[in-house]
């Protein structure tokens, strides 16, 4: 069972939060070894010692906000502008993977493990999952491969949707052209891609959409919405670099809002939501104020 739950069983006066705190402070040992991972799975008859008088060690913190954490899976809230993984093998870049691996290695000095199982574009913000064990990575990769992951995005798009909802079931070509993906022609190698969108809010010459994807192709949401003539605001690649009236966005306004899946080890449902980031909230506020008398967004 989890170490924090076993500790509570042995020390009923501890709350779940307090048990986690004392473990992270280094005041708990398992079989004589200090353990700072509350979600570590231990035998129910394990020798667990709790010494509240032991000087607290500096807390191990992740350099990214955590949406979910256990011994096998970590879901973080990636900011826009941060790479998910290095842009080429061997490059020493600041990435979400590098930050998570650093956290895992400080949390488990003798065996810290972190690997990516999917990715977000550099300028897409939101929920990003990592495996903290090889077993979890294999299970999560199967989930993504078999499309058993719930992925919901929020996007601010240019234009007025003609309908309140729709689906885009068009394949994307496999090859890149000038840094772009695109809808495949009948004679091109392609991969199937399916997205469902619905309008959450209509705005002057724009809209806030919820987009659920059943496949996870690179640039899928951006290409599919552009195909629907609803390009994402701030997207210089697929056609809406400027907002209505004046440029409002410094990046494609796309956010990975919700991620849900069956835990690869326990089978329990994991569901997280990442709040809309500040830049997207600011654009929505500006759009809601409407155009100025000169036709520009205030």
Residue with tokens 């042995």: 10
What residue spans in the chain does CATH classification 3.10.290.10 cover? 3-50
d(CA 98, CA 89): 13
CA dihedral in degrees (76, 201, 224, 79; nearest 10)? -20
d(CA 135, CA 100): 17
Helix (H, G, I), strand (E, B) or coil at 21: helix
Taking alpha carbons only, the member of 221, 212, 124, 203 closest to residue 161 is: 203
Task: Tell me what pLDDT residue 292 has.
Answer: 45
- Output the pTM of the full model: 0.79
| pLDDT at 297 (0 to 100) | 47
Neighbours of 205 (CB within 10 A): 15
Tell me the C-alpha distance between 2 and 262, whole Å. 18
Catalytically annotated residues: 121
Q: What angle do CA 114, 120, 123 make, to 5 degrees?
A: 125
Instruction: Please report the pLDDT score of residue 291 as a whole number.
Output: 66
Gyration radius (Cα) of the chain, Å: 22
Domain with CATH 3.30.2350.10 in the chain: 66-289
The reported pLDDT for the residue numbered 84 is: 96
- Cα 256 to Cα 264: distance, rounded to the nearest angstrom: 21
3-state DSSP: the chain helix, strand, coil percent, rounded to 5?
Answer: 20, 30, 50
Fold of 3-50: 3.10.290
The pLDDT profile of the chain, 298 residues, written as one tens digit per residue, is 889 999 999 999 999 989 988 988 889 999 888 888 888 888 999 999 999 999 887 777 889 999 998 889 999 999 999 999 998 887 889 999 999 999 998 888 777 899 999 999 999 999 999 999 999 999 999 999 898 999 999 999 999 999 999 999 999 988 888 888 888 888 888 899 999 999 999 998 899 999 999 998 999 999 999 999 999 999 989 975 544 444 578 899 999 999 999 999 989 999 999 999 999 999 999 999 876 444 344 4
CATH architecture of 66-289: 2-Layer Sandwich (3.30)
pLDDT for res 109: 74
State the sign of the Cα–Cα–Cα–Cα dihedral 157, 166, 203, 155: negative
Digit-coded pLDDT (tens) for 172-200:
988 888 888 888 888 888 899 999 999 99
């Amino acid at each position: 069972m989890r170490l924090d739950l076993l500790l509570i069983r042995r020390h009923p006066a501890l709350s779940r939060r307090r048990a986690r705190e004392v473990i992270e402070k280094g005041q708990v040992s398992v079989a004589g070894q200090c353990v700072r991972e509350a979600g570590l799975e231990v035998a129910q008859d394990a020798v667990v010692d709790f010494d509240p008088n032991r000087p607290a060690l500096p807390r191990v913190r992740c350099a990214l906000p955590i949406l979910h954490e256990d011994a096998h899976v970590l879901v973080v809230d990636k900011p826009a502008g941060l790479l998910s993984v290095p842009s080429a093998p061997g490059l020493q870049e600041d990435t979400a993977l590098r930050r998570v691996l650093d956290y895992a290695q400080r949390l488990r000095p003798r065996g810290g493990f972190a690997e990516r199982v999917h990715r977000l574009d550099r300028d897409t913000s939101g929920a990003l999952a990592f495996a903290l064990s090889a077993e979890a990575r294999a299970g999560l990769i199967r989930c993504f491969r078999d499309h058993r992951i719930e992925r919901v995005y929020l996007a601010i798009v240019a234009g007025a949707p003609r309908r309140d909802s729709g689906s885009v079931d068009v394949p994307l070509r496999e090859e890149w052209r000038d840094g772009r993906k695109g809808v495949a022609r009948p004679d091109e190698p392609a991969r199937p891609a399916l997205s469902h969108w619905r309008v959450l809010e209509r705005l002057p010459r724009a809209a806030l959409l919820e987009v659920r994807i059943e496949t996870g192709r690179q640039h899928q949401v951006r290409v599919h919405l552009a195909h629907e003539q609803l390009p994402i605001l701030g997207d210089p690649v697929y056609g809406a670099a400027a907002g209505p009236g004046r440029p409002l966005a410094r990046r494609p306004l796309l956010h990975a809002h919700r991620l849900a899946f069956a835990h690869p080890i326990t089978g329990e449902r994991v569901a997280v939501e990442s709040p809309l980031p500040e830049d997207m909230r600011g654009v929505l506020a500006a759009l809601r104020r409407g155009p100025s008398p000169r036709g520009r967004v205030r």
